[in-house]
Amino acid sequence: MIRVGLTGGIGAGKSTVAKTFIERGAYHVDADRIAREVVEPGTPGLAALVEAFGPEILAADGSLDRPALAARAFVDEESVKTLNGITHPLIGARTQELNDAAPADAVILHDVPLLVEGHMAPFYDAVIVVHTDADLRLDRLVNLRGMDADDARARIDAQATDEQRRAVADIWLDNSGTPDELAAQALQVWTERLIPLRDNHLAGAPAPLPTDAVDADETWAAVGARVVNRLWAILGATATKIDHVGPTADPSAASAVPVIDVEVTVADQAAAARAAELLSASGFPRLPGAAEGLHATVDPGRPARVRITVAD
């Protein structure tokens, strides 16, 4: 299975993309729905919130009054920490339950509005960002959803910036057109990127790497940073250093073969063996025919090669 993170600003059009994927078999994990489930009446989550913030956060029917909770939970940093300390573990546990229930060949789609704000991008095999300019999102929220203009603008301003989203986006979908145009983009991503990624992962087979040099691309540094962050999420303390190296890491290069080369440094041979296991299980299998310690990604849209080296 692979895990795909889907995000974008409020009103960007994530639901259209999610619907397109779900219709083709994606296993949907909705972060907003989970956040509501874990604080429904009768749950330990709601009981913990009442204990922390008082019975005034309950509506007349015993359900959570979210505006009342917000009025108490967002007054200072300590209150926000208390809220997150109650809800985040519950959301994480329920998310893991759903992940564990997914079939082995699933494309697990995590629909996470605050994926960027929560620094979750490195934990996905691919991150998809649906982008719409803020002015167009504001217009849609006000005229299509009936939101108050000031409220809509405040929500947009409180979320991640376009630059922050672009920094983590493996796939960037432009929703400045119609829903049908966005659905067509999503279908292309599903067919040409996600299914090959999933199939390569199941087979333990790296995606083919390009061999011809191209003109230097200013996005290589950002892609390299995403690969490095993904590898830290996979390897953790098994690695002592992870660096983007080679021609695509050289800002002065005029051209290069567009492969992100990464060097993973470990302390000893035991750590090297453990790193190889973790990489192979997480979308970076051994590169066939190559020397031991050389791995490559299963993602056809993000060519990357990883070399494990033992520190001197």
User: Residue 16 annotated as binding?
Assistant: yes
- In contact, 90 and 84? CB cutoff 8 Å: no
User: Residue 240 annotated as binding?
Assistant: no
* Residue in the block written with tokens 């917000």: 70
User: Residue 15 annotated as binding?
Assistant: yes
Question: 66-73 vs 44-53: helix axis angle to the nearest 10?
Answer: 50
Rounded Cα distance between 4 and 189, Å, is 12
Rounded Cα distance between 138 and 26, Å, is 29
User: Residue 68 annotated as binding?
Assistant: no
Give the number of other CB atoms < 10 A from CB of residue 274. Answer: 16
- Inter-CA distances, 201 with 27, 57, 99, 296, Å: 16, 46, 16, 11
User: Residue 13 annotated as binding?
Assistant: yes
User: Residue 14 annotated as binding?
Assistant: yes
- In contact, 223 and 260? CB cutoff 8 Å: yes
Phi-psi region of 112 (alpha: psi -120 to 50; beta: other; left: phi over 0): beta
Sequence ranges of the binding site? 11-16
Sequence ranges of the binding site for ATP? 11-16
